[in-house]
Amino acid sequence: MSDKKGNVWIFIEQEGGKIADVSLELVCKGRELAQRLGVKTEAVLLGNNVASCADTLYSYGCDTVFLAEDERLEPFTVLPYAKVIMDLIREHKPNILLFGATLKGRELAPRVASEKLGGLTADCTELRIDDFEDKKNNKSYTDKLMQIRPAFGGNIIATIVNTWEDPQMVTVREGVMKLDDPVPGRKGELVKVDVALSDVETVVKVLERVRADKEVDLKGAQIIVAGGYGVGSKANMKLIYDLAEALGGEVGASRAAVDAGWIDHDHQIGQTGVTVRPRLYIAAGISGSIQHCAGMSESKKIIAINTDPEAPIFSVAHYAIVGDLNTVIPQMIKAFKAKQ
């Protein structure tokens, strides 16, 4: 391995010994970036009684697992986690640090970036290694992390590059990065970390945790019927539900439909919602903004229904139906039921 650059780190989220999907996705992406740089893929695993997670992390591509176990690290609170991570950063000087864009990640990553006086790019949809030419300051940089994400409300795709001291830090939404198959039996190095916390870092205590299960599982759905603002009204969303029921799928929505109050945010697909890859995705009344397409464009088959033949959604659709969804959807339901 090269000693010219620090390694690629991934902050691992876990609960009850189960690693979050977004962390495993980031391990796979981190390994890809590390191989490009010729460095190691390393995981930062914090909690209490979490050592059993290490074998899973090795199987997905980690070379090293930094393990910090302490009862004060469970349940998660941001101050002790940030302290442990900053101590590790000062000692080992990583090149790249990846966080999931989750409730934990969005609370922890800015705290670490602030302590490090570094930058943080949120909600990236793609990461890659490339060279960068800073023409304004007449400087060249090699092997920098290209941090790609929608900007200005999803109207453009921005590529952000850090020119300050490492680590280069980003958050990435669940489902955006590809999850590779694990390699059972793959081994790595376990580095146990001493946890040094003062009263200041442990001042916050979790008194109660209230959980509510989501009513919809879009990430695991194989068939999704999604409605947008073009559906026309909350009452018309019944057509979307009817088609989803007929096909045995889940109901999704664009941000515009959610903002209009026609459907709950748990159904939202896109950069500010869920990223999905179903076998079949039907988009009805969705114009197809960059932000929405970022969350569904990798679906295996995409059918788009829109009255506007120039709608951007047609550029990512495999099948385009130009027509009124109030007419098209009932015909689709009738045809499917007749086939059954």
Question: pLDDT digits over 24-36, tens only?
Answer: 999 999 999 999 9
pTM of the model: 0.84
Per-residue tokens: 94: 């990583």
Q: Is beta strand 280-284 parallel, antiparallel or unpaired with respect to 168-172?
A: unpaired
Question: pLDDT digits over 206-254, tens only?
Answer: 888 887 777 788 988 999 999 999 999 999 999 999 999 999 999 999 9
How far apart are the C-alpha atoms of 320 and 302, rounded to whole Å? 9
How far apart are the C-alpha atoms of 275 and 249, rounded to whole Å? 16
Stretch 17-42: mean pLDDT: 97
HSE on the CB side for 322, CA within 13 Å?
6
Q: Is the pLDDT of residue 296 over 50?
A: yes
DSSP letter (8 states) at residue 53: G
Question: pLDDT digits over 306-328, tens only?
Answer: 999 999 999 999 999 999 999 99
pLDDT of residue 1: 39
The segment(s) of the chain belonging to CATH 3.40.50.620 are 8-192
Class of domain 223-339: alpha beta
Helix (H, G, I), strand (E, B) or coil at 231: helix
| Distance from the Cα of residue 206 to its chain's centroid | 26
* CATH architecture of structural domain 8-192: 3-Layer(aba) Sandwich (3.40)
The segment(s) of the chain belonging to CATH 3.40.50.1220 are 223-339
Q: Please report, for the chain, how many H helices and E strands are present, in that order.
A: 8, 17
How far apart are the C-alpha atoms of 335 and 337, rounded to whole Å? 6
pLDDT of residue 154: 65
Helix (H, G, I), strand (E, B) or coil at 243: helix
Query: Kind and range of the H or E element at 252?
Result: strand 250-253
Supply the angle between the helices 103-116 and 78-92 in degrees, to the nearest 10: 50
